[in-house]
């Protein structure tokens, strides 16, 4: 397609949380609403990525559809011809291109990936899969198959985007003009603006990022949380003993995180700066969060699943056509066709 491609995806395993919403889902929804005529917007569920780490496979299919419904509940305009929403595993070219690119990728390149080293430390060598090791190659395929120019990446994905650019240039240097190379990380940040790299921190441990894979869930506000449960999480959130509200990410990270969340929910943090009691601020934040979740949960329940599935089938037909054209160029280049 002639329009520049913007591509994003969120893993289907585990519930998505409020940080995913403000940092990834909402910016893409807003972009699709305002820029779909200028760009092609690809939003996919990377279900093949979902079990590079251990999961409960009995829940995967439900989580895939839940992930898609969250995008629709957030306002994604599915009726727009420039917006495509699809499942990674329904486009087989992802898997085949991954194998081909793997044969041009060094073991050392993958071993140096920070995410891989971090998760190897968590799971141990015996439980760390080859799929996790090879994850960046699959991500590169996700991007290169559709000639994607812009891909929102957080801090933990910048190495993967840099690898995508490297492998694309490597193939182009060896075989000619095969891939469109996506923009660099600084260019991505400039394009996506203020929400790029947004970090909502864990409510119990504000030194670490809120994570949907958190086992306790006590410091994470999931989009599926009921308003009362979310209220309790806010009221029990870790703050400090300083006794004065300041926006200080170094010395008062818990409060700074809550103040950021308050502004994301439409509040003005300045009205609480300088106050010496934390309770009224937490209550105000809990009220805003409860109202947001109540509205969001209602929108989620109103999603027409039948219409969503029709859009999936239509988009996946289009995506297969585009991806297979790219795959054929690669197959011809390496001598498979």
With contact defined as beta carbons under 8 Å apart, do 24 and 74 qualify?
no
CA distance 157 to 161: 6
Measured distance CA(73)–CA(252) in Å, rounded: 34
178 neighbors 172 (Cβ within 8 angstroms): yes
The answer to whether 20 touches 12, Cβ cutoff 8 Å, is: no
Contacts 24+ apart (CB under 8 A), 193-196: 193/27, 195/22, 195/23, 195/26, 195/27, 196/27, 196/152, 196/153
Active site residue 209: yes
Backbone torsions φ then ψ of 315, nearest 5 degrees: -65, -40
Report how far residue 126's alpha carbon sits from residue 102's, in angstroms, rounded to the nearest whole number.
22
Cα separations in angstroms, 12 against 47, 61, 88: 6, 9, 11
User: Does the annotation mark 212 as catalytic?
Assistant: yes
Give, rounded to a whole angstrom, the gap between the first and last alpha carbons of the chain. Answer: 23
Among candidate residues 3, 183, 212, 314, the one labeled active-site is 212
- Given 119, 233, 269, 282, the catalytic residue: 119
User: What's the half-sphere exposure (Cβ side, CA atoms, 13 Å) at 271?
Assistant: 10
Name the helix (H) or strand (E) containing 181.
none
Q: Is 321 a residue of the active site? A: no
Is residue 70 within 8 A of residue 85, CB to CB? The reply is no
Q: Two tokens at 130?
A: 């080859």
Query: How many angstroms separate the CA atoms of 287 and 289, rounded?
Result: 6
Task: Say how far residue 276 (Cα) sits from the centre of its chain.
Answer: 37
Which residue out of 3, 209, 218, 314 is catalytically annotated?
209
Instruction: Report, as residue numbers or ranges, the catalytic residues.
Output: 119, 209, 212
């Amino acid at each position: 397609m002639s329009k520049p491609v913007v591509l994003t995806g969120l893993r289907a395993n585990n519930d998505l949380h409020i940080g995913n919403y403000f940092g990834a889902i909402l910016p893409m929804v807003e972009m699709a609403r305002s820029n779909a005529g200028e760009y092609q917007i690809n939003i996919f569920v990377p279900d093949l990525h979902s079990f590079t780490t251990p999961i409960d496979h009995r829940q995967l299919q439900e989580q895939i559809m839940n992930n898609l419904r969250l995008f629709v509940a957030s306002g994604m305009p599915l009726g727009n011809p420039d917006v495509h929403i699809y499942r990674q595993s329904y486009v087989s070219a992802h898997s085949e291109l991954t194998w081909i690119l793997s044969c041009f990728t060094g073991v050392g390149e993958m071993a140096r990936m920070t995410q891989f080293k971090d998760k190897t430390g968590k799971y141990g060598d015996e439980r760390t899969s080859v799929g996790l090791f090879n994850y960046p190659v699959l991500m590169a395929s996700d991007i290169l198959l559709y000639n994607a120019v812009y891909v929102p990446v957080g801090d933990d994905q910048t190495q993967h985007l840099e690898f995508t650019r490297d492998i694309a240039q490597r193939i182009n240097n060896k075989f000619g003009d095969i891939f469109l190379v996506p923009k660099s990380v600084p260019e991505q940040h400039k394009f996506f603006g203020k929400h790029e790299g947004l970090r909502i921190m864990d409510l119990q441990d504000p030194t670490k990022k809120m994570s949907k894979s958190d086992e306790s869930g006590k410091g994470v506000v999931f989009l599926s949380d009921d308003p009362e449960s979310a209220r309790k999480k806010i009221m029990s959130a870790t703050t400090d003993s300083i006794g004065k509200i300041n926006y200080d990410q170094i010395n008062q990270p818990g409060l700074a995180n809550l103040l950021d969340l308050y502004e994301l929910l439409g509040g003005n943090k300045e009205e609480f700066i300088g106050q010496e009691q934390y309770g009224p601020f937490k209550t105000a934040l809990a009220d805003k969060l409860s109202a947001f979740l109540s509205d969001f949960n209602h929108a989620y329940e109103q999603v027409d699943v039948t219409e969503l599935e029709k859009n999936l089938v239509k988009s996946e037909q289009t995506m297969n056509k585009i991806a297979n054209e790219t795959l054929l160029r690669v197959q011809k280049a390496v001598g498979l066709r």
